[in-house]
Structure 1
Amino acid sequence: MPSIRSTRTASLTLATALAALLATVPFPAGAAPLGALPAVTPRAETAALHDDAAGGKADADDPAIWRNAADPGRSLVIATAKQGGLRVYDLDAREVQSLPAPAAPGSGHAPGRFNNVDLVHGLRLSSGRADLAVTSDRGNDRLRFYRIDRDRAGGPLTDVTDPAAPPVFSASQQEIDEQRTAYGLATWTDQATGRSYALVSRRERTTLALLELVPGPGGTVGYRKVRTLDLPASFRLPNGRSWSPCAEPGELPQVEGMVVDPANGTLYAGQEDVGIWRLRADLTGKPELVDKVREYGIPATYDEATDKCVAGADPGYGGKRLTADVEGLTLVTESGGDGYLLASSQGDSTFAAYDREISDGNEYEGGFRVTAASPALDGSEECDGAAALAAPLGARYPKGLLVVQDGHDSPEDAERPSTGFKFVDLRDVLDAVGD
């Protein structure tokens, strides 16, 4: 979120300036003004989380939706709260469980910080098959695993992380403390082999890692690294110049939002200041850019004194749909291969929908905003994580649910940093993008 990462502040400053410029100039053919996007409104919202000492440093980030096959109306939303750990909500957005992130391993070290979350269904453990919530612990550079048992006394999630699980990227505690650690996360089960994996990105780096999930003793879960891949950090523009996104010295353009299409093993990865990549989930083959952010190719220099990027003239090589950062990738998977890839355009608080079909080049299908339903139920601004599930979830969400993070919640005490999650009927989203 902008409040905890200085380069995000720089990026959003550039994005705000660009949005102001776009409002004063004609739009190219096929591009709609930002205000013309249709609006959808949430049905419910979670209680605000507060990223301060009194709030337990809880900062909403990324959700996942677990469907209760036996009773869909009693499904759950599992969401990260960074240093505040995990939150579990029912479909009325009421909290049913809160789990803390691990404490710091010692004085002077970083505490646990849960960044992204995803699900694995029916993973074979030594204690039997189980559905799992998997989260990236940025503070400790590890993955953590939670077994899901909807009716378990004490709450549906139980920590089943193998204590021997190693750091994902770091070779020592000193490296972990530098916090170039596990960041974005997406899970994937290979339909050909039945093996389950996690794809993990590295904070302030372009690296992606493929980790195979493996059962440990006593019903625990660990992982082993299969391979890594580095996305580009600089790009050759049509004018022959080389361009890299503006950042603090030493930082590279990171990935956070990721999702895998289970039907074909395709990974979509959002490189925040660049665009959306499409590549094989096994991290082989050549990545392709599906779309670029508007700021792509704009020269900018980081000013340490102001903690801002000073932008030059726009050469016109960027996209038309996404304003940096690109975040919150999720899939709406419908039968026959139909559906959408949804992306949060964080810089202008909109969402873009792309055709799920690769044969159509993941063509842009439309966009929408999540706006206030009432004075008491606001919309979503600067959305980070998002999750969609196109399946019946009881009477309230018969076509499914979209959960989006709200980077600026509006509680009664507006002076405290506050975030949360909004629950949107997926029917409204499908109507907005023309389904």
Structure 2
Amino acid sequence: MRRALTLILLGAALTAQAQVPATLAHARDLAAIPGGWLALDKHALRLVDAAGSERATIAVRGRQLDVRADGDGALALVVDANAERPIPVRVDAAAGTLTALPALPEPGYGIEAACLYRDAHHLTHVFTVAKDGQADQWLLGAGQSPARHVRHLALPPHAQHCRVDDTTATLYVAEEELGVWAYRADPEGAPLRRPVALAPPFGKMTGGAGALAVLPDGLAATDGKGKLHAWRRAGDTWRAAPVPRIDAGALASGDGLLARTADGWRPVKLAWAAAVKPAAALPIVVPRAQTASVARAGDAADDPAIWLHPHDPAASRILGTDKKQGLLVYDLQGRQTQLLEAGRLNNVDVRQDVAFGTERFDLAMATQRDENAMVLFTIDANGTVSEAARLPTELAEIYGACLYRPKTGGLDAFVNDKDGRYLHYRIDRDGGRFTAKVVRRFRTATQPEGCVADEASGRLFVGEEKRGLWVTSAAAEEEAKLTMALPVGGLLHADVEGVGIYRAGTRSYVVVSSQGNDSYVVLDAAPPYKVRGAFRIGIDAVAGIDGTSETDGLEVTSANLGGPYGRGMLVVQDGYKRMPDGPQNFKLVAWDDIAKALRLD
């Protein structure tokens, strides 16, 4: 029969030389907390002080104990083996109390493994894993608030244990008979899986894996025979580290490692170098609202634009493309007001009060990928959008686009192809119909997408996905000489996707989607294009709005849209809709929150 194994994280205040009270020698699971210990046995979860005296108990036939420190106390998680439900427990070490918080909803399966994760925003999550690999991620509510379901996952079958390294947002799962896997713990973004150590013939870990413990920049585990292993992380790989030969029934780690042997819990001496100091985390802002999801599943939503109501800012509209259906229109509360089934639309942009002689229009333009065409839409004074024209282009794979109003009047459109070609079109009116002709051509070396024209300065910013953000003149009569404003590297990670301009008075910023690390970079829109910082968009746990990841398109305005948007709004496409899982949508962020996070003027 396979051994029951456990790994436990010690508090940083304790070392491997910490003496476990004799009264806890037979505890199945153990966790250090400030001033004492939490111990789990067949009958109860027990709070024990440093001298070994029991201070509080919760009767439960529990398993899978995990803990996160909270000031002078802790938050613990234990699985009720009878009810098959995880129970969070508030630990007050000073008062000597254990308080069971509301249990998570029944997952609909027997729980083989469960563990905690504290994210960069200091929110606490729970992972639950079934025998067949079904898994879920939950966000714990504050106090007596119920937990929210974040997402479903597919994890290995026969999971023996799981632990999360909060610093690197890595979920480790021990698969019986096979080994240890590393997953992405952050719910945003594409799921990632990498092997840490596997059993033959794939690796050298005999008999798979059982218990796990997170070490600084690494991991400890026991194999199927109870032998101890440890690995040091090096980027996306893990290298075996020397450990003493020991048969362990359970482990605990922190500044050191404890092992439960036949003689009880004892320290394990590891020659473990100090952890590499992690890079400073980017500031997190939370969305104020989100739109309804698009109707199509998968990679569908792509790019937003903002139309400003001429008299009532609160009646403004957000336009968003669905690459599988058409153009969606939302109000500022995120409610869908229109759907125009115009086909596979990619990028969209808006310009208002565009003059063609005596005629004036509010116009949106989107690229139509099936027809390699530009689709023009008119927007009336009430924010109602109507298709007005389809203008063919010379491109073979039309992709990104943006609009520009020359000082001489009319409208220019920049559209690009995946091969790097840019066509600069002049849009005009002839006999009551919209027309378009090419007035300039240029190209990037590799695939572009997002672009934005700054009409105040006459500059055009062009995103090249793998290389960075370029700038050139937006004027048709000038040479389109591309100058690098911000290369990929540092804060900007490929792919470079959505680009927007924020202008308020004499200050203007470019906002760029740094898709490779799910963040947004802000830089000055004037030379030398100084970078002002970067931020991520996180979870609003109270409102139940998830964060954002893999953003394709974005738009920003400095217009006073009322309420929290007094200094403007950023709208971004969200590549993974969570809380709950669903089709993609767009998130609305108050510019004031961004300005405070980055200390902008």
Task: Note whether the superposition's TM-score is higher than 0.5.
Answer: yes
The equivalent of 1:116 in structure 2 is: 347
The equivalent of 2:414 in structure 1 is: 199
- Secondary structure of the 2:363 match is strand
Quick one: distance in 2 between partners of 1:94 and 1:363?
37
Letter in structure 2 aligned against 1:408: Y
The equivalent of 1:243 in structure 2 is: none
Shift of 1:224: 0.9
- Secondary structure of the 1:381 match is coil
Q: What RMSD in Å do the two structures reach over aligned CA positions?
A: 2.7
Shift of 1:341: 0.5
Alignment of 1:56-71 (within 5 A): 59-71=300-312
Please say if 1:408 is aligned against 2:576.
yes
Please say if 1:185 is aligned against 2:401.
yes
Shift in alpha-carbon separation, 1:285–1:225, aligned structure 2, 3 A? closer
Alignment of 1:10-409 (within 5 A): 21=235, 33=279, 36-52=281-297, 59-101=300-342, 112-125=343-356, 128-151=359-382, 156-161=384-389, 165=391, 167-170=392-395, 180-191=396-407, 193-203=408-418, 205-218=419-432, 220-232=433-445, 253-282=446-475, 284-293=479-488, 319-336=489-506, 338-358=507-527, 361-374=528-541, 376-409=544-577
Shift of 1:281: 1.5
Identity over aligned pairs, percent: 32
Quick one: distance in 2 between partners of 1:388 and 1:127?
30
Conservation of the 8 A alpha-carbon contact between 2:356 and 2:409? no
Q: What 5-or-longer segments of structure 2 have no aligned partner? A: 1-188, 195-233, 239-274
Shift in alpha-carbon separation, 1:285–1:209, aligned structure 2, 3 A? closer
Letter in structure 1 aligned against 2:531: Y
* Per-residue CA distance 1:204-233 (angstroms, 9 max, x = gap): x11111000111444x4221111210223x
TM-score, length of structure 2 as denominator length: 0.52
Letter in structure 2 aligned against 1:37: L
- Secondary structure of the 2:389 match is coil
Conservation of the 8 A alpha-carbon contact between 1:124 and 1:215? no
Query: Rg bigger for which structure?
Result: 2
* Per-residue CA distance 1:228-252 (angstroms, 9 max, x = gap): 10223xxxxxxxxxxxxxxxxxxxx
Quick one: distance in 1 between partners of 2:306 and 2:318?
5
The equivalent of 1:245 in structure 2 is: none
Shift of 1:399: 1.0
Shift in alpha-carbon separation, 1:222–1:288, aligned structure 2, 3 A? same
Quick one: distance in 2 between partners of 1:409 and 1:182?
27
Conservation of the 8 A alpha-carbon contact between 2:406 and 2:475? no
Conservation of the 8 A alpha-carbon contact between 2:429 and 2:435? yes
Quick one: distance in 1 between partners of 2:286 and 2:431?
46
- Secondary structure of the 2:302 match is coil
TM-score, length of structure 1 as denominator length: 0.71
Conservation of the 8 A alpha-carbon contact between 1:405 and 1:421? yes
* Per-residue CA distance 1:373-410 (angstroms, 9 max, x = gap): 11721011111101000010123411111101000011
Letter in structure 2 aligned against 1:209: L
2:584 corresponds, among 419, 427, 430, to 419
Quick one: distance in 2 between partners of 1:21 and 1:225?
47
Shift of 1:190: 1.4
Letter in structure 2 aligned against 1:195: G
Letter in structure 1 aligned against 2:452: V
- Secondary structure of the 1:429 match is helix
Letter in structure 2 aligned against 1:124: A
Shift of 1:73: 1.1
Quick one: distance in 1 between partners of 2:379 and 2:306?
12
* Per-residue CA distance 1:358-383 (angstroms, 9 max, x = gap): 2xx10111110010111721011111
Quick one: distance in 1 between partners of 2:193 and 2:512?
18
- Secondary structure of the 2:565 match is coil
Shift of 1:156: 0.1
Bigger RCO of structures 1 and 2 (CA < 8 A, at least 6 apart): 1
The equivalent of 1:176 in structure 2 is: none
Quick one: distance in 1 between partners of 2:193 and 2:456?
37
- Secondary structure of the 2:516 match is helix
Shift of 1:146: 0.8
Quick one: distance in 2 between partners of 1:43 and 1:377?
8
Letter in structure 2 aligned against 1:67: L
Q: What 5-or-longer segments of structure 1 have no aligned partner? A: 1-11, 102-111, 171-179, 233-252, 294-318
Letter in structure 2 aligned against 1:76: R
Shift of 1:169: 1.9
Shift in alpha-carbon separation, 1:231–1:16, aligned structure 2, 3 A? farther
Q: In proportion to residue count, which structure has more strand?
A: 2
Shift of 1:278: 0.9
- Secondary structure of the 2:594 match is helix
Quick one: distance in 2 between partners of 1:341 and 1:121?
20
Quick one: distance in 2 between partners of 1:424 and 1:194?
32
Letter in structure 1 aligned against 2:576: H
Conservation of the 8 A alpha-carbon contact between 1:58 and 1:84? no
Shift in alpha-carbon separation, 1:38–1:323, aligned structure 2, 3 A? same
Letter in structure 2 aligned against 1:281: A
Q: In proportion to residue count, which structure has more helix?
A: 1
Please say if 1:431 is aligned against 2:431.
no
Letter in structure 1 aligned against 2:440: R
- Secondary structure of the 1:347 match is helix
Quick one: distance in 2 between partners of 1:50 and 1:403?
19
Conservation of the 8 A alpha-carbon contact between 2:447 and 2:465? yes
Quick one: distance in 2 between partners of 1:83 and 1:292?
32
Conservation of the 8 A alpha-carbon contact between 1:339 and 1:356? yes
